[in-house]
A and B are shown apart, each in its own frame.
Chain A
Amino acid sequence: MVSYDELGARIIISFGDGSVFITESTLWGLIVAAILAVLGIWLGSGLEKIPKGKQVIAEFIVGWLYKFTDANLGKENRGYAPYIGTIFGFILLGSSLGIFGIRPITASLNVTAALAVLTFLLIQSSAIRTHGVKGRIKEMCEPYPFMFPLEVIEACTLPVSLALRLFGNILGGLIVVELWMHLMEYLSSLVCNVPFLRAVTVLPINAFFDMFEPVIQTYIFTLLTMINLYTAIKVTESHGQLAQGNRK
């Protein structure tokens, strides 16, 4: 049967009395990060003026990424594109691990919570860097000062909802795939000994839950990150005029 005993991943290596351990998702997360780093270095090495071979692919990916960030963050905030691209690649590859029969690393709440906390820290630190501490508090007190607690709660809810959304979607996909496999095994065992139904239906199920769903969830995660980042760092109309007036 399917076991829901552990919401997290299996522990594969433990040291000492078992209080220090490495889970499956930690290990695969490190491997995914290493793969992405090697791929990035290989794609970015030996660049030429006229693109050829792998450079075409690299330019396509980077161009798409910059277009994606420009559309949502504005051209002046291009510096955030590498971060967005990194989390995009990491979540996409980490969630699609189910294709290879490995438990997706984002089906563990620890991984998604870490990613969401990164996003939260990025948003708050960039907002403080643009507006200053005083400006940030003033921004949160708009339009009325009594909205301040609500704004604080809203800012703290964002990482929770980001983490739970990614985790719930990927874990839900995992459980549905497992249940479907068991059902197909049972149904085909009524007819003959070979689980033929399982072998046939695995392809569309995998294509949906391990390829399509991760792409959608990754897109949503990065898009929500960018939208919240933009609302935090955008300079409002009055501020913009002030800044322009100072420059003159």
Chain B
Amino acid sequence: MNLIALAAGLAMGLVGIGISLGQGLALGKGLEGISKQPEASNKIQTAMIVGMAIMETIGVLTFVIAIILTGKM
């Protein structure tokens, strides 16, 4: 039981590291692009948000798995 709790916590924590790094990079590059070319901000924003959503999917899937794990305790 304790190991399951540890697994759920570790899964969320590790995925948090990965996603925050990835989204931070994407946001940074997107802002860089917008500041270089303000006229293309709409296109950059759309692509950036879609890319971040796809990254976030991994976290959400991990979240669902963590919930299933906590349900097994």
Query: Helix, strand, loop or mixed for chain A's interface?
Result: helix
Is the CB of A220 closer than 8 A to any CB of chain B? yes
Is the CB of A64 closer than 8 A to any CB of chain B? no
Contact with B along A222-248 (1 / 0, CB 8 A): 011001000000000000000000000
- Give the residues from 200 to 235 in chain A that come closer than 8 angstroms, CB to CB, to chain B: 219-220, 223-224, 227
Q: Please tell me if the beta carbons of B64 and A220 are within 8 angstroms of each other in the complex.
A: no
Hey, which chain A residues are within 8 Å of B49, CB to CB? 219-220, 223
Contact with A along B28-58 (1 / 0, CB 8 A): 0000000000000010001001100100110
A5 contacts which of B56, B61, B63, B71 (Cβ < 8 Å)? B71
Count of B interface residues, CB-CB < 8 Å: 14
Contact with B along A162-199 (1 / 0, CB 8 A): 00110111011000000000000000000000000000
Hey, which chain B residues are within 8 Å of A167, CB to CB? 60, 64
Q: A5, A7, A172: which has the most chain B beta carbons within 10 Å?
A: A172
- With A172-B63, A223-B49 known as contacts, the answer to whether A164 contacts B70 (CB < 8 A) is no
A-binding residues in B (CB < 8 A): 42, 46, 49-50, 53, 56-57, 60-61, 63-64, 67, 70-71
